[in-house]
């Protein structure tokens, strides 16, 4: 191994970083101002260049295997400082949580648009194994939501770090060795956000974001309303440069990552694949570290993952975050918290609330309310259940439980929701609360059950098991009072089938498989459809023989028969015309890969991806925001190239 002295490292780093400073002057745009801040720190902080040299050498050593890699998923506590001048800038908790959700999806490669990565780059796409949580413990050890709110007289902030100081109208950071500090404010000059690279001063470490490009709801504005600006900036905070390289002119820059193609410059908007430069096959414009719109960036590479993970190896500049207790709520009481909340005996005016026992508890405080109100009704119980009456028919409620252990009390649980039976409802059971897969209610196979989607946010989860003698599955959803859809998941929580017909048309999923075990069914209203006065009928049928696509009886089907059915009703698209999303429903003759191509009216390919299809009906939601208004063709073919279907659709 070649040994570098600090003096050598410093001279190498300064030469590289000065080149970065020169190139950034003409490559800069308002999409990201991290490099402007980088250049300023080189000029004003004499220690920054040395720190950067050490960090980059550590990253190279990590790539060569000279540092022990962390094998676990790293969780980083986040505190969001909302600094606002107007009411609109004081963004909601929901908008903040939507951004954390995007970060977790993007850095764990759980983002729904990951399937859009072109085949040429698919093997490079990486789960970075870094995730984020809203802080639950503040630097003083007290419980927190991970959000601070500061009203300021400053109407807008720039990249001068003023938002990071209370003395200049902002908010001082929490301990930056234990938390990722994110400031959300009104940014001036068209700036979306900026981040501080590792190696800078602790007092200014973190990410600054404009409120109009933070999260996916509230004040977030297109085309920066999918949370990808924060993903990009956190990438800088985790030591990633722009993908085209920030240390040279066109085609000479390097992002210090070996598996990202050399490209001439940044990309904007939503390019089509391939978009080539610098003699590459295509720019990796869908990488989070380019400048494309939020809807068109959806991957990190394995090399970028290695560079980020190096920060958390022994001696890494952000290693302390991996052991931070910021995500661990403080112990506020010696009495435990109740679990396993459920509701039974639902009627139009009453319900029985149930929970698990807490060790040492002598009684329990129970509070409940309609979800549309803010006033709780409180009662007590010396057992692990409490019957309540006087409720309103067809109404959504929530309840919480607090254990009492002698003179001390535990914390109230999070809410469990239920909906009372509507007047005239004849459901066999409304099955609440079953609004998540972990709370799914077990049902018998080959038996009709009737249940209810009682509110616009209600969703019903059920579970059932298959055996070696009855392994094939058909899910039917009939008697729909509104536009309901149904999905089938395997024991790992992976979607294996779905049906999404329009209006009140019945839904059917056929899933012929050799894998036995527990399966889950999710029933939900499309766009919040519900009925508090009528029920639907669900049947989870199992059989030793394959279910025929489109047939209503349990019958063995030959491959030829399946192919005939597929050829007649292979695919359909809705809504058509479409605006932001279009749904592709495809009948597959087998478990296989399908290939989807989209062409414009001139026959030019504008998008291409492959997807797993399971025998029977499959449904995929495709984002088409990047397409201009006009007429397009969608082509779907199976992996053998035998069945090929083309349908026209319109973007309006």
Q: How far apart are CA 310 and CA 463, in angstroms?
A: 42
CA atoms within 13 A on the CB side of 597: 12
The whole-angstrom separation of Cα 55 and Cα 553 is: 65
623 vs 308, 315, 430, CA distance in Å? Answer: 29, 42, 34
Taking alpha carbons only, the member of 80, 447, 396 closest to residue 230 is 80
The pairing of strands 495-499 and 472-478 is unpaired
Three-state SS at 126: coil
Coil, helix or strand for 81? strand
Please say whether the beta carbons of 479 and 537 come within 8 A: yes
Beta pairing partners, 399: 368, 416
- Do 122 and 286 meet the contact criterion of CB atoms below 8 Å apart? no
Residue 308, SS3 per DSSP: helix
Q: Where are the alpha helices (DSSP H) in 441-592?
A: 559-568
Whether 233 is catalytic: yes
Tell me the C-alpha distance between 234 and 34, whole Å: 10
Which of 377, 354, 494 minimizes the C-alpha distance to 433?
A: 354
- What 3-state DSSP class applies to 120? helix
Contacts of 603 (CB under 8 A, 6+ apart): none
Phi-psi region of 226 (alpha: psi -120 to 50; beta: other; left: phi over 0): alpha
Q: What angle do CA 42, 44, 49 make, to 5 degrees?
A: 30
Q: Which of 70, 233, 266, 432 is catalytic?
A: 233
Residue entry with tokens 């579970």: 463
Query: And the tokens for 424?
Result: 């005239």
Question: Which element (helix H / strand E) includes 507?
Answer: strand 507-511
Catalytic positions, written as ranges? 233
């Amino acid at each position: 191994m070649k040994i570098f002295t600090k003096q050598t490292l410093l001279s190498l780093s300064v030469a590289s970083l000065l080149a970065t400073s020169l190139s950034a002057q003409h490559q800069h745009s308002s999409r990201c101002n991290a490099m402007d801040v980088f250049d300023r720190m080189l000029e004003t902080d004499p220690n920054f260049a040395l720190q950067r040299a050490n960090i980059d050498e550590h990253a190279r050593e990590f790539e060569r295997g000279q540092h022990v890699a962390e094998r676990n998923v790293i969780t980083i506590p986040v505190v969001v400082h909302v600094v606002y001048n107007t009411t609109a800038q004081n963004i909601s908790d929901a908008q903040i949580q939507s951004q954390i959700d995007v970060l977790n999806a993007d850095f764990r490669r759980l983002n729904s648009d990951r399937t859009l990565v072109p085949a040429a780059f698919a093997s490079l796409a990486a789960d970075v194994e870094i995730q984020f949580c809203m802080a639950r413990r503040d630097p003083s050890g007290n419980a927190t939501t991970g959000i601070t709110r500061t009203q300021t007289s400053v109407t807008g902030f720039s990249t001068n770090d003023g938002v990071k100081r209370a003395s200049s109208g902002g908010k001082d950071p929490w301990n930056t060795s234990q938390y990722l500090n994110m400031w959300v404010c009104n940014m001036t000059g068209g700036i979306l956000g900026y981040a501080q690279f590792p190696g800078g001063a602790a007092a200014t470490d973190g990410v600054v974001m404009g409120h109009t490009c933070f999260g996916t709801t509230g004040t977030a504005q297109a085309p920066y309303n999918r949370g990808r600006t924060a993903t990009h900036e956190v990438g800088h905070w985790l030591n990633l440069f722009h993908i085209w390289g920030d240390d040279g002119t066109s085609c000479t820059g390097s992002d210090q990552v070996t598996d990202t193609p050399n490209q001439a410059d940044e990309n904007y908007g939503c390019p089509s694949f391939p978009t080539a430069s610098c003699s590459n096959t295509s720019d990796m414009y869908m990488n989070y570290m380019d400048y494309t719109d939020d809807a068109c960036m959806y991957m990190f590479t394995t090399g970028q993952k290695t560079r980020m993970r190096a920060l958390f190896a022994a001696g890494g500049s952000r290693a302390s975050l991996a052991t931070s207790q910021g995500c661990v709520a403080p112990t506020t009481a010696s009495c435990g918290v109740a679990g396993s909340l459920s509701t039974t005996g639902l009627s139009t005016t009453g319900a029985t609330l149930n929970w698990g026992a807490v060790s040492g508890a002598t009684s329990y405080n129970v509070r409940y309310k309609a979800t549309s109100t803010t006033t709780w009704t409180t009662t007590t119980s010396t057992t692990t259940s409490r019957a309540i009456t006087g409720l309103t028919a067809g109404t959504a409620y929530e309840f919480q439980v607090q254990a009492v252990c002698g003179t001390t009390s535990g914390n109230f649980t999070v809410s469990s929701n239920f909906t009372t039976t509507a007047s005239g409802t004849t459901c066999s059971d409304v099955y609440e609360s079953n609004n998540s897969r972990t709370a799914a209610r077990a049902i018998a196979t080959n038996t009709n059950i009737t249940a209810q989607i009682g509110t616009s946010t209600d969703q019903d989860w059920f579970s059932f098991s298959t055996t070696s003698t009855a392994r094939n599955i058909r899910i039917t959803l009939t008697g729909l009072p509104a536009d309901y859809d149904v999905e089938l998941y395997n024991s790992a929580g992976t979607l294996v089938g779905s049906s999404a017909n329009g209006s009140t048309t019945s839904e059917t999923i056929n899933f012929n498989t050799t894998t036995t075990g527990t399966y889950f069914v999710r029933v939900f209203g499309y766009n919040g459809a519900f009925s508090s006065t009528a029920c639907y009928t669900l049947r989870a049928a199992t059989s030793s023989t394959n279910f025929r696509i489109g047939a209503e009886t349990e019958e063995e089907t030959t491959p030829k028969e399946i192919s005939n059915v597929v050829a007649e009703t292979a695919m359909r698209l809705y809504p058509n015309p479409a605006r932001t999303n279009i749904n592709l429903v495809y009948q597959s003759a087998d478990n296989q890969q399908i290939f989807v191509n989209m062409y414009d009216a001139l026959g030019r390919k504008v998008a291409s991806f492959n997807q797993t299809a399971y025998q029977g009906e499959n449904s995929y939601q495709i984002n088409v925001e990047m397409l201009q208004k006009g007429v397009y063709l969608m082509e779907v073919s199976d992996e053998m190239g035998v069945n090929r279907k083309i349908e026209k659709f319109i973007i309006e």
